Amino acid sequence: MPNPINYDEIAKSQESDLELQNLISNPQGLQLKKIVMPNSNIPLFCDLSTGTARPYIPKEYRQRIFSQLHNMSHPAEANFELSGITNDVTKYNNVLLQLTFEIMSVASDLLFDPLHADQYTTLKNRLTQEFSVSESLQIRKLLSELQLGDDKSSHLLRKMKELAGTALNDDFLRNLWLQRLPAEIQTIISEKLENLAKLADKIAEISASPFTPNVYAVVGRSEQSSDCPNSPLNEMIALRGEIASLSKQVE
């Protein structure tokens, strides 16, 4: 027998699931509401758009829950083989014995009309679909909704990778990520490697100067900078000018 659903564990996972937080802000046709499930005292976010409460299963749990509840993951396939079970109907009946009432409710039409080919595969695909967010929805959110805001660039990239999964190649994802960054950062990151190396050298030289802490205090006194053409102040001003110029070229 598979392990029962650990609703309490899923509820804790929902709290930190980025995809769920995005769906709560922009439901995209879903009706998300907290509901207390059987055998649990902790409410779960469920989708009610189909008239049936479907618990939202965080991405990290989908395949694991599918394996535990429905006994239809690859290990179960191996068990079928070890037991000599190859008939589709026999597999279907074995799985049916493992389903709880709430799981059966999402595939009731298949259960009441079993007279079709590939019963096991059809049931497996239905349950997988019901417990996962569609790939098209994830890509749509990735292309149009996810923005940098007050987040860190690295956090944004991590969210984008989670939504993209294996659907997008790294180059396309990199371009999407760059488009969400401020123009001045785009300029620096998009520069050729040789130019980045030169820019890094200039920043390192200025940062190493003992006069650097005082640069920002005297920025307004530009008339003094002409006396020392190679001063840290002049170098900082020149560096900022180069970045600003590159930003305009990008725009």
pLDDT tens-digit map of 214-247: 444 444 444 444 455 555 556 666 666 666 665 5
Q: Is the pLDDT of residue 213 over 50?
A: no
**Residue 178: pLDDT above 60?**
yes
In the chain the beta strands, taken as DSSP E runs, fall at 32-36, 43-47, 54-55
Query: What's the confidence (pLDDT) of residue 42?
Result: 82
Q: What distance in Å separates the CA atoms of residue 30 and residue 2, rounded to the nearest whole number?
A: 29
More confident call, 144 vs 251: 144
Please indicate whether residue 246 or residue 148 has the higher confidence score (pLDDT): 148
**Rounded-to-10 torsion of CA 217, 223, 226, 227:** -80
Give the confidence band of 92 by pLDDT, cuts at 50, 70, 90.
confident
Q: Where is average pLDDT lowest: 55-64, 191-200, 208-217?
A: 208-217
Whether residue 16 has pLDDT greater than 70: yes
Q: Rounded to 10 degrees, what is the CA torsion of 218, 223, 226, 229?
A: 20
Residue with more model confidence, 51 or 231: 51
The CA dihedral of 159, 162, 166, 168, to the nearest 10 degrees, is: -20
Point out which residues pair with 183 in neighbouring strands.
none
111-143 tens-digit pLDDT: 666 556 677 778 777 776 665 555 556 565 655
Average pLDDT (9-27) is 82
